[in-house]
Homo-oligomer: A and B are copies of this chain.
Amino acid sequence: MDKVGLDKIFEENQERYLEEWKEFLSFESISTDPAYKQNCLDCAEWLSRHLSKIGMESRLLETPTMPVVFAEYKGSPGKPVISFYGHYDVQPADPLDKWKSKPFEPELRDGRMYARGAEDNKGQLFYFFKAVETLIANNSLDCTLRIFIEGEEECGSAGISARLQDWGDMLKSDVLMVCDTGCIQPGIPTITMGLRGIIMLMVKLTGPRHDLHSGVHGGVIKNPATEIARLVASFHNEDGSIAVPGFYDSVLPIDPEDRKLANVASFDDATYEAMVGAPPMGGEKEVSFAERRGFRPALEINGIAGGYSGAGSKTIIPSEAIAKVSARLAANQDPAESLQQLIDHIKSNAPAGLSLEISEAEVGGGAVRVSAKSEAIKKAASVLRQIVDRDPVFMWEGASIPIIASLVEASGAEPLLIGFGWEEDNIHSPNESFSIEQFKQGFLYAGLLLSSYSS
């Protein structure tokens, strides 16, 4: 199908698309918290039924943890085989009091859909499914398409990782499409050339068996809140670089060509500050914005907690304190090795007098790098040019989709990381949203690209 045909169908069916999309968004498929397990399962089943309804053969693939929704459409022999990866799980919705409408009661306001997962990843999945539906309904899909939608992307992809080896033939494909990335600006189509890897852990320091009076015990006992702060402070040097011994050892120097393309897709400090509300003054002091953003490792505290943080004062020495830590890895860093380096650093910097516990340690996955010269990238770029009548830009993404490195390896496919997210979508934050305009661009991209592989 061509752009005009797809556009017409979108306009005719938009209302129905939005209603179905809302249904998908209403599942509280929060994978990181076991309390929501049934919600995740319900979501997977709904999705599998939906993929059957649009004309694919769909079923759930069991894993040791959460099922993967699988759907297949068989094209003519000799036509390309496309695999598509995404996730039906979402991040937790807290802090709930900062949401204008409820995170799992999707609301359309001013051309944007507000809900947890509105963009990441349910919104970007749903335009793809609607494009597939359109092509099948119009007898225009003739490549083989295999969809894998997992339920644990936000918490380490354990289930799908455990089964990749078993699914060898099912995964083998020419192109691996992933719509879970963004554009550098709305309306500027963006091809993601890299993803950072990720590792995670939680560190806990425990002191007295219960909170103590800070007057009676102040200056006597080691304070877990003070000590978690001192431990966290040991993670970075004064110049903002990571102080974990050996962490940078295998990080490769940046290719000059990559650096050039990365700078095209970059923006200045003032634009960044206007966008997020604070200047880009984090990370390594001597490294440029574009490089810190896309190429260099970063170690971040995702949460720190200990003692009383409510209104007024409560003069205690807390019994325990925790920090949730994750690091983004650069190309060529081995995630297992990096995790061990971090654990070793924590152990050798842990304070005497408190007990140390490291938990939730996860080797998320390695970084991904795509060649700008691949056939798949060229075809996608040509499709993107049709949609907005300008050249796409190439971006090195700082975020991670931990499973992608493994999927690329298992599928033997050329990865195609193209999505239509944008900063103001607030993914992972309160008031996540996705605009109808972005949704439609994604629909056109998926429809045109699959048409192109079908012809």
Contact in complex: A221, B282 (CB < 8 Å):
yes
A360: B residues at CB distance < 8 A = 312-313
Give the complex CA separation of A315 and B198 in angstroms. 10
Tell me if B398 and A216 are in contact (CB < 8 A). Answer: yes
Q: Which residues from B are CB-within-8-Å of A8?
A: none
A221–B314 CB distance below 8 A: no
Q: Are A314 and B32 in contact (CB under 8 A)?
A: yes
Quick check: which of A127-135, A168-176, A300-308, A332-340 contacts chain B, the rest being far away? A300-308
Residues of B near A218 (CB, < 8 A) are 196, 282-283, 298-300, 326, 328, 398
Q: Could you tell me the distance between the alpha carbons of A360 and B314 in the complex, rounded to whole angstroms?
A: 12
Residues of chain B contacted by A354 (CB below 8 angstroms): 278
Specify which chain B residues have a CB less than 8 angstroms from the CB of A412 in the assembled complex. Answer: none
Q: Of B226, B284, B300, B313, which contacts A317 at CB under 8 A?
A: B300
Interface centre among A228, A235, A276 (most CB of B within 10 A): A276
- Does A309 interact with chain B (Cβ within 8 Å)? yes
Question: Known contacts being A219-B292, A220-B282, A280-B220, is A306 close to B304, with CB within 8 Å?
Answer: yes
Known contacts A301-B307, A428-B211; A220/B293 CB under 8 A: yes
> Could you say which residues of chain B place their CB within 8 Å of the CB of A79?
none
- CB of B310 within 8 A of CB of A94, answer yes
A400 to B214: give the CA distance in the assembly, Å: 9
CA distance in complex: A91, B212 (Å): 12
Any chain B CB within 8 A of the CB of A103?
A: no
Q: Is A123 an interface residue (CB 8 A)?
A: no
B307 touches A225 (CB 8 A): no
Q: Given A220-B293, A311-B32, A328-B219, A210–B430 Cβ distance below 8 Å?
A: yes
A316 to B219, CA, bound (A): 34
A interface residues (Cβ-Cβ under 8 A, vs B): 31-35, 91-92, 94, 98, 154-156, 182, 196, 198, 200, 206-223, 225-226, 228-233, 235-236, 272, 276-284, 289, 292-293, 296-318, 321-324, 326, 328, 352-354, 360, 362, 397-400, 423, 426-431
Could you write out 25 A-B pairs with CB less than 8 Å apart? Answer: A31-B312, A156-B313, A198-B315, A209-B276, A210-B277, A211-B430, A214-B326, A218-B299, A218-B300, A218-B398, A219-B284, A219-B293, A220-B272, A220-B283, A222-B282, A226-B236, A229-B229, A229-B233, A282-B353, A302-B308, A304-B305, A308-B324, A312-B360, A313-B326, A316-B428
